[in-house]
Amino acid sequence: MRPGTRRRVKLFLSVLVVIAAGGALIGTATARVPLIGALVGAVNGILVLGAIVAAEIFLPQTRLGHALERAPFVATFAIKWLVYHALIVLVIGSGAIRGLVRALLVTGDTAQAMTPDSSLPPRVGMVIIAMWVPSFILLIQLSRLIGERTLRDIALGRYRRPRTEDRFFLFVDLAGSTPIAERLGPAAVHRFLGRVFRIASPPIDDHGGEVYQYVGDEIVITWTGTDARQHARPLACFFAIEQAIARAAEEFERDFGVVPRLRAALHAGPVIAGEVGESRRAIVFHGDVMNTASRIEQATRDLERQFLVSSDAIERLDGLDAYALEDLGPQQLRGRAALVQVYSATAKK
C-alpha cells in the first residue's frame, strides 16, 4: 500500500470512529431506549457521513474523481450536493435502519415504547445533515483549490505573525520546455503541463510534500525540516515523480509526441513564513533559501546534471544510503557572491 493511501485509510478510519461515536451519542440522548438510539445513530452516521467522507478522501484518486475535479467549481459542487442528499434521503428518510434495529433487538413492551416519535424524527436528522453537507463540500473544494495545509494554517491563524521555520524547497522543472511550447502551441502545452502536474501530485502526497506554487513549467514543493528528514523524503519524492512520468511515457508520446524530462534542485535553511494579502490571503516564505534553490536549479544546465542538492540540505537528511551523491564542490551560482557546495544526486539501482 502506498504511503499516501495508507495515510488516507488511517484518516478515514479515525473520522469513522468519531462519526460513529457522535451518532451514538446523539441517538442515546434523543431515544427512549438508549441502546437502540445509540445503534441507530451510529449506523446512520456511518452509512451517510462515512460514505460522504470516504468519497471525499478516496474518489479524487480515481479517474472519475479526476474528471469531477476538472469540472467547473459550481458543477462539481452541484453534483456532489445532489448525490449526497440523495444518500441522506435514502438512508435516513426511509427509516430502514431504525426498522432493522427494532426488528433485531426490540421485543414485547420495549417495542411499544420505541414508537416513531420516541427518538429523533428522521426528518430532523435529515435537516441537520443536509445543513452540514454543503459546508463540508465547500470546505473540501476550497482545500483543493488552495491546499489542505494552507487552508488549515490560515483558519488556525498559524502565520498571522511571521515566524522563522527551517524548510526544504524542491524545485522541479521541465527540461526543454521552450521548444516543446513552440511545437505544441499554447493550448496543447497547457494540457501537457496539466498532466505532468497531475501525475506528480500522488508522489508529492506520498512523501509528505506540500506544493507551494506552480511557476510556469515548474513546481515548487516544500517540507518542514522535521517532515523532510526521515527517509530523505525530498529526494525520494523527486525520483518517485520521475518514475511516475516514466510509467506514463506511452501516454505522453501518443497524445503529445514528447515525453517530459525533469530537472530538479533541493536546498534547505531558515525562512520567514507569514500570511499576506487582504482580498486574497496566502502563506508565503521569504529568505535567501528560495533564491538559492532557484539558482541551483539553473545550475543543472551549466553542470549538466539532472538533480542538484546543496550541502545544507544533505546535512539535514537521514536515509541517504539509497542515493548516489557526487560531490561537485563549491559552485559559483548566478547572482550570488558566496560559493555553494552542491552534490549531484541519483537513485541507486
Give the model confidence (pLDDT) of 234-249 as tens digits.
Answer: 999 999 999 999 999 9
| Long-range residue pairs from 110-118, CB within 8 A, at least 24 positions apart, any chain | 110/33, 113/32, 113/33, 114/31, 114/32, 114/33, 114/36, 118/31, 118/32, 118/33
What tens digit of pLDDT does each residue of 192-219 get?
A: 999 999 899 889 988 989 999 998 889 9
Instruction: Pick the last residue of a domain from 90, 117, 146.
Output: 146
Number of compact structural domains in the chain: 2
Residues 42 and 177 in one domain: no
Whether residue 261 has pLDDT greater than 90: yes
Whether residue 319 has pLDDT greater than 50: yes
Kindly give, in sequence order, each residue whose CB lies less than 8 Å from that of residue 340, ignoring residues fewer than 6 positions away. Answer: 292, 295, 296, 310, 311, 330, 331, 333
Residues 306 and 210 in one domain: yes
How confident is residue 114, by pLDDT bands cut at 50, 70 and 90? very low
Residues 86 and 227 in one domain: no
Mean pLDDT of 8-36: 78
Residues 264 and 131 in one domain: no
Residues 102 and 121 in one domain: yes
**pLDDT computed for residue 272 by the predictor:** 93
Domain with 61, as residue range(s), is 3-146
**pLDDT computed for residue 132 by the predictor:** 66
Whether residue 107 has pLDDT greater than 70: no
| 8 A C-beta contact, residue 325 and residue 314 | yes
How confident is residue 95, by pLDDT bands cut at 50, 70 and 90? low
How far is 61 from 333, CA to CA, in rounded Å? Answer: 40
What SS3 class is residue 305? Answer: coil
Residues 203 and 343 in one domain: yes
Mean pLDDT of 322-332: 91
Whether residue 69 has pLDDT greater than 90: no
Mean pLDDT of 97-119: 48
Residues 223 and 323 in one domain: yes
Higher-confidence position of 184 and 280: 184
Whether residue 349 has pLDDT greater than 90: no
**pLDDT computed for residue 121 by the predictor:** 53
Residues 241 and 298 in one domain: yes
CATH at residue 337: 3.30.70.1230
Instruction: Pick the last residue of a domain from 127, 146, 165.
Output: 146
Residues 181 and 140 in one domain: no
Higher-confidence position of 100 and 226: 226
| 8 A C-beta contact, residue 266 and residue 308 | yes
Residues 140 and 270 in one domain: no
Instruction: Pick the last residue of a domain from 115, 146, 177.
Output: 146
Average pLDDT, the chain: 81
Cell numbers 536546498 correspond to what residue?
267
Residues 134 and 177 in one domain: no
Residues 47 and 137 in one domain: yes
**pLDDT computed for residue 170 by the predictor:** 97
**pLDDT computed for residue 72 by the predictor:** 77
**pLDDT computed for residue 130 by the predictor:** 61
